[in-house]
Amino acid sequence: MLKHSLAILIATAVPAMAADNVLSSHEVSFEQESFICGQVNRSGKVVRFIHSTPTAKYIPEFEPAATDPMAKSWDITYRIICEGAIQPPITARLNHKRS
């Protein structure tokens, strides 16, 4: 239910995505900014997106084609903002025995 409600909210809040079918999405905060990340079905092709308000100046909202010169940097940005925020933090645990 929550996932469905979020999909409707995204579709109405983001006109560029209104014609697309939102397949998955989640909200993340990165450096005190909010982003909505996810995947849409655009003409039968699954495409990732990053949406921010206000719109990020140098980051295209939708994943560029693999042949686009920005594709690699967009992928890195997506992984840092969208996937890095949902990964559990790595912690080291040291087992010390005190005598």
Residue 23 lies in a domain: yes
Single pTM value for the model: 0.64
pLDDT given for residue 6 in this prediction: 40
Q: Among candidates 48, 56, 40, which has minimal Cα distance to 7?
A: 40
Residue 98 lies in a domain: no
Residue 96 lies in a domain: no
Residue 91 lies in a domain: no
> Which domain range does residue 62 map to?
2-83
Residue 54 lies in a domain: yes
Residue 16 backbone dihedrals phi, psi, to 5 degrees: -65, -25
Mean pLDDT of the chain: 76
Residue 53 lies in a domain: yes
When divided into structural domains, the chain yields a total of 1
Residue 97 lies in a domain: no
Q: Answer whether 78's CB lies under 8 Å from 25's CB.
A: no
pLDDT top residue among 96 and 29? 29
* Confidence label for 84 from pLDDT (cuts 50, 70 and 90): confident
pLDDT top residue among 42 and 57? 42
Q: Answer whether 11's CB lies under 8 Å from 22's CB.
A: yes
The share of the chain scoring above pLDDT 70, in percent, equals 65
Q: How many CB atoms lie within 10 A of CB 75?
A: 14
